[in-house]
Amino acid sequence: MIVTRFAPSPNGPLHLGHAWAAIVAHDRARAATGTFLLRIEDIDGARSRPELAEEFRADLAWLGLSWTEVKPQSQRVERYRAAADALRTAGLLYPCHCTRAEIAANAAAQGPDGPLYPGTCRLHPIEPGPDVAWRLDMARAMALAGPLEWTDERRGIQQATPDLFGDVVLWRKDAPASYHLAATVDDAADGVSVVTRGIDLFRASHVHRLLQALLGLPVPRWHHHAVLVGPDGRKLAKRRGAAGLAERRQNGEDGPALAAALRAGRFDSSLFDTGICLADTIDLAP
Ligand code: GLU
């Protein structure tokens, strides 16, 4: 049975880009009489605003979607800790106290998320303490896992190249598990069989595939969908002025009509600002 999920972070209101992501996940499950899950990804420390979860539910219902809600991430921290402990016991994690500024100053190359970690604390190990992050020793992890493949429903079989990210942080200083660890552990725990998410996160799936191998988790399929961009070619974002769904809902707009226009790709309709369209490239500017 197909299980998909929409996994928003309650850091800000949902906008059209989220509506589209939710619709893709919802419709992918419904087309196969599967299950569509909602998972609130609320472990982003100070940025997380729990009251937004209620607003998200109202937004999704307004769009005409129905879902099964699973536990929010804030209630799963022990699972993430167990996963991190297993990786640490296997000798695959090391503590790191480098700041963003230090990494930027010493990085020799860029990764998908910014400057690539230059390996400072792997080369010069530090004592673990409460204020450290834990990084994956990527070379060691890949050697242990061996060559890995994963399948995207739209782009076919992929050879996993998680080393694009270098030694990723799996346990953060300022919050529990990183996105990579939490999302991978949760998708397995929730029985997600098709992970749908925006094409801008395509590369993250290389890391998730590696974590599945290291943690002995089932391997889903992926479905990276095109994402909505504005006239500047950048992903819609609240901070760049994308109208929030809650605002549109409260203004009395017709949610199912908006969902239908998104499904039909009718971006020339008056429901959308001029210049909004779908972009399907992996190299989307952040
Ligand atoms: N919480 C993540 C986000 O909002 C989820 C990404 C994913 O679907 O894996 O970007």
Give the pLDDT confidence of 71-83 residue by residue, as tens digits.
999 999 999 999 9
For residue 107, which of 99, 98, 117, 97 has the smallest C-alpha distance?
A: 117
- Look up tokens 């020799």; give the residue: 108
Whether the CB of 183 sits within 6 Å of ligand 1: yes
| Prediction pTM value | 0.96
Which band of pLDDT confidence, cut at 50, 70 and 90, is reported for residue 165?
very high
Domain boundary among 205, 224, 243: 224
Which tens digits make up the pLDDT trace of 6-28? 999 999 999 999 999 999 999 99
Instruction: Looking at the structure, tell me whether residues 238 and 259 fall in a common domain.
Output: yes
Q: Which atom of ligand 1 lies closest to the CA of 5?
A: 8
Residue identifier of the C-alpha nearest atom 3 of ligand 1? 8
Backbone φ, ψ for residue 122 (5° rounding): -80, -40
Q: Which atom of ligand 1 lies closest to the CA of 41?
A: 1
Output the average pLDDT for the chain. 95
Two tokens, residue 246: 């809650």
Whether the CB of 7 sits within 6 Å of ligand 1: yes
Instruction: Looking at the structure, tell me whether residues 63 and 30 fall in a common domain.
Output: yes
Instruction: Looking at the structure, tell me whether residues 216 and 250 fall in a common domain.
Output: no
Instruction: Looking at the structure, tell me whether residues 193 and 116 fall in a common domain.
Output: yes
Which of 197, 206, 211 for mutating ligand 1's site (highest number of atoms within 8 Å of CB)? 197
Instruction: Looking at the structure, tell me whether residues 68 and 33 fall in a common domain.
Output: yes
Q: Coil, strand or helix: which one is 98?
A: coil
Instruction: Looking at the structure, tell me whether residues 192 and 115 fall in a common domain.
Output: yes
Which band of pLDDT confidence, cut at 50, 70 and 90, is reported for residue 92?
very high
- pLDDT given for residue 164 in this prediction: 97
- Name the domain count of the chain: 2
Measured in angstroms, how far is the CA atom of residue 124 from the centroid of ligand 1? 33
Residue 286 counted as domain residue: no
By residue range, what is the domain housing residue 30?
3-74+226-279
Instruction: Looking at the structure, tell me whether residues 91 and 157 fall in a common domain.
Output: yes
Residue identifier of the C-alpha nearest atom 5 of ligand 1? 7
Whether the CB of 8 sits within 6 Å of ligand 1: yes
